[in-house]
Amino acid sequence: MTNNVAEGAYLVASLLFILGLKRLSSPRTARSGNITAAIGMAIALGGTFVLPGMGNIGWILLAIVLGTIPGWLLAKRVKMTAMPQMVSLFNGMGGACALLISLAEWFRISIHFSAPIKIGNSITLDLSGSVFTPRTFGECVPMLLGVIFGAVSFTGSLVAFGKLQGLITEKPIRLPGQNLVNVGLVAAILVTSGLAAQHQDASIWIIALAIAALVLGIVQVLPIGGADMPVVISVLNSCTGLAAALTGFAMQNMAMIIAGTLVGAAGSLLTLLMCKAMNRSLIKVVFGSFGAVPSGAAAATQSGQTMREIAPAECAIMMGYARKVIIIPGYGLAVGQGQHLVHELDELLEKRGVEVKYAIHPVAGRMPGHMNVLLAEADVPYPKLLDMEEINPEFDQADVALIVGANDVVNPAARTEAGSPIYGMPILNADKAKNVIVIKRGRGAGFAGIENSLFFNPQTRMLFGDAKKALQELVTEVKAL
């Protein structure tokens, strides 16, 4: 009876997971989608408590409290600029859970002995009464794969967190003999997996497998530059989902299988979308070194050209008397916490009869959907947030394109310079606007490490400074018109 109750709870939870994921597809319903999925998780958790043979309830409740309180506090206090690294950290914890559960399932069927064991002269360990029952191939595979994917996701996510948080340089870090190291680790994983399956009574092999997979997660993400972090987060998220699903198979837990499969599938689809948006194959992202400064013409500075600066008052006049303004947000907007000011600016412009829209590049920011969430926090109406395919045809009708903290996603080198690391990447057509204003903290290059020729175009003017300070000055000047 209790088993039927648990299975019913898992079924309801799975339906809520699916519904919650569906509602996450739109900014309008994303908040309720999160709540729906959270309710599903609570139901699944409650169902677990009534499973036959459940014990150590006190320890389980203590673990729930110890996990819930820090998670709640971190989620409440995290800034929008730190949301990508928060996602990486939480994703890593999911991978760690899958790793530990898979290991626990492996060790759950311990070695049993048919006679007491003497330890020294005075101690006797009596483990008699049963015999060791080896696992079948079908039982071994989910546990072994759960260990591999969980370990890779855990350490890979921690490295991604370190890069996003600034604890590790965002530039690619390639080890000496990087490819040989990777091949060696993959070979070690294959060998230890086979030995663990063959010698199930020797725990050394499953431990060696876990260590090799943990190291692989580190050395695989270190050579990946900051520009590819949105894709890396999606890949690792997919690995975590796959690890959770495999763990569910090992435990014969339907809720984990369905939830893990949903996360893995969603992460895989998102990865493909991100790769398409960057015109890069997944293999180049995972095994390449995007983010390194190339040595050819793509990395050369615009010798003999200068960036033309503009004062806030001139920017205000240019936008205040325009017919159409397109705002392009980037990570610099998130860093400067200027989302509320940019919304105030667009409201002031609209009061003056200016049409204002936002152009959202799929990989703007540091994780998929970063800009949408950031602007939604500032109550920017959803219809104003247009993706690249929708907004690009409108740039040649725009009087002003206001770029706030974006760089590579508006770089014309993606169209013209075959030697550029971003060549072929779809970009926002900001250079088609009649006038371009760029709010930028400094003259440095973007994540890809290359100069942006747009900043030297005749119709482009640079407003240097922190996004929040620059936007505040613009708001003040527009009010004064």
Beta strands in 107-205 (DSSP E): 117-119, 123-125
Q: Which of 126, 408, 431, 466 is catalytic?
A: 408
> Does residue 179 contact residue 116 with C-beta atoms inside 8 Å?
no
Catalytic residue at 408? yes
> Does residue 456 contact residue 306 with C-beta atoms inside 8 Å?
yes
Nearest to 161 by CA among 242, 267, 237: 237
Nearest to 206 by CA among 248, 144, 289: 144
Q: H or E segment at 17?
A: helix 2-23
**Residue 203 has which token pair?**
């725990």
DSSP 309: B
Rounded Cα gap, residues 436 and 458, in angstroms: 9
Cβ-based neighbours of 126, under 8 Å, separated by 6 or more: 116, 117
**Residue 330 has which token pair?**
């980037």
Rounded Cα gap, residues 223 and 9, in angstroms: 43
Rounded Cα gap, residues 224 and 235, in angstroms: 12
Partnered with residue 400 across adjacent β-strands are 325, 435
Q: What are phi and psi of 379, to 5 degrees?
A: 65, 30
Catalytic positions are: 408
